[in-house]
């Protein structure tokens, strides 16, 4: 258990450097199985989710090494195709191993994945993609799924642009003996980054007129080292942008890709914050500005506002005068942070739209120090932002959620002038 102790009420001012994308790196680590030889993944962040997947790879028989921001993985000696709950229960991204294991062994047994409790995240789309792109016998039980068969190619029209299912489909299509088409798939930059890695492995994946396509490519194990650099973490960069604006500070966020952050940039500008973007830098100014609320912020699949920034956005909007409303269409039950933000002075509550959909109603004002508990990764980030804004001392209790997605977050906030410390209580 970790406690974040924050003395808030000071603007964040300065420069912060963001790292590589967690959400891009995790499926790429699973996809190293498809290369079957040594891989060097650069710009890798030190996160507990990353460590969990590396431990999973070692359980499967791979060799791994993590030094600086470079991960080396060699899956030449892979010798297992089963993933028990001991490994999958730690991280939702463990489902990414499904298609790679099937390609290597023709069968796999994977326990249902865990991760943050942010609402239902079934794997039915993953299994539908396998059925559409191969000839498989799929057996589900109360603990997980067993799959056996071969990829044949084909077409799959996704009923919803699920990121995980799209990534599963791309890995399934990568070395199929016949062409594959995936319609209605996710467009997130992290999905595009996975496609880039798969092509570096020898795949022939392209995105044409809104459709993911894959041409037949031979699968074989490699002996030469593949080197690949993951994209910047747009969620980490967005979190710092919201925190700087929320504290009415001024800061430069380096190492990001503003072109992939248009959802959060639009929100910040709509409230009256100044945002200037460059090639790999974002300048955010909230200082000496009376920021106003937004009528409706809706979290949708990319390129709209991301669900992973919904909770941090609630903390930010709680500091903007006037009313705001936030609706998450991706995870409509991802609202556990509402009551916790209320403990820190936020005038925030759950409400219902005329159609019955739950949404968050916010009346902006001054936050204060308080005690809260992070219920998931992004809720933890929201509470840290609220603590940095609120006058007085805040204590945020966290069961390791924040470390799953933010590397050295206290050090980075302190580099901006934030007064925040991390204590391990057991």
**Which residues are tagged catalytic?**
116
The Cα–Cα gap between 424 and 109 comes to 36
The Cα–Cα gap between 270 and 265 comes to 9
The Cα–Cα gap between 391 and 251 comes to 20
The Cα–Cα gap between 168 and 72 comes to 22
Tell me whether the omega of the peptide bond preceding residue 259 falls within 30 degrees of 0, making it cis. Answer: no
Q: Are strands 419-424 and 2-8 parallel, antiparallel or unpaired?
A: antiparallel
Structure tokens belonging to residue 288: 């000496």
The Cα–Cα gap between 383 and 294 comes to 20
The set of residues, in sequence order, having a beta carbon less than 8 Å from that of 177 and lying 6+ positions away, is 151, 152, 153, 216
Cα→Cα distances 31→39, 103, 125, 202, Å: 10, 11, 19, 12
Q: Is 320 in contact with 292 (CB distance < 8 Å)?
A: yes
Q: Say how many C-beta atoms besides its own lie within 10 A of residue 322's C-beta.
A: 16
The Cα–Cα gap between 335 and 345 comes to 17
């Amino acid at each position: 258990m970790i406690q974040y102790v924050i003395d808030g009420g000071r603007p964040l001012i300065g420069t912060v450097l963001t790292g590589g994308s967690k959400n891009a790196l995790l499926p790429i680590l699973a996809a190293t199985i498809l290369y079957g030889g040594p891989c060097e993944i650069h710009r890798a962040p030190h996160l507990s989710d990353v460590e969990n997947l590396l431990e999973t790879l070692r359980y499967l028989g791979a060799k791994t090494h993590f030094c600086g921001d470079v991960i080396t993985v060699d899956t030449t000696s892979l010798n297992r195709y089963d993933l028990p709950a001991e490994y999958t229960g730690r991280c939702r991204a463990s489902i990414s191993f499904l298609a790679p294991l099937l390609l290597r062994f023709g069968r796999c047994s994977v326990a249902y994945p865990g991760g943050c409790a942010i609402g239902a995240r079934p794997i039915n789309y993953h299994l539908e993609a396998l059925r559409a792109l191969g000839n498989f016998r799929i057996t589900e039980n109360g603990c997980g799924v067993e799959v056996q068969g071969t990829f044949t190619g084909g077409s799959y029209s996704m009923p919803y642009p699920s990121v995980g299912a799209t990534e599963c489909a791309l890995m399934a299509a990568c070395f199929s003996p016949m062409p594959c088409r995936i319609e209605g798939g996710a467009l997130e930059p992290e999905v595009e980054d996975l496609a880039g890695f798969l092509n570096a492995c020898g795949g022939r994946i392209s995105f044409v007129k809104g459709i993911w396509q894959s041409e037949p490519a031979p699968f074989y194990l490699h002996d030469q080292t593949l080197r690949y650099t993951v994209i910047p973490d747009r969620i980490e960069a967005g979190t710092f942008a919201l925190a700087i604006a929320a504290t009415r500070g001024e800061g430069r966020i380096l190492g990001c890709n503003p072109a992939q952050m248009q959802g959060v940039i639009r929100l910040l500008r709509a409230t009256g914050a100044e945002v200037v973007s460059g090639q790999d830098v974002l300048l955010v100014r909230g200082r000496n500005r009376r920021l106003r609320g937004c009528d409706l912020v809706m979290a949708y699949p990319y390129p709209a506002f991301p669900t992973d920034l919904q909770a941090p956005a609630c903390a930010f909007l709680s500091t903007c005068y006037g009313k705001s409303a936030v609706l998450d269409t991706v995870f409509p039950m991802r609202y556990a942070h509402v009551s916790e933000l209320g403990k820190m002075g936020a005038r925030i509550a759950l409400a219902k739209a005329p159609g019955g959909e739950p949404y968050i109603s916010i009346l902006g004002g001054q936050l204060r120090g308080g005690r809260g508990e992070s219920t998931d990764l992004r809720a933890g980030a929201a509470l840290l932002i609220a603590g940095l804004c609120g006058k007085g001392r805040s204590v945020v209790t966290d069961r390791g959620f924040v470390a799953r997605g933010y590397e050295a977050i206290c050090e980075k906030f302190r580099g901006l002038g934030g007064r925040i410390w991390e204590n391990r209580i057991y």
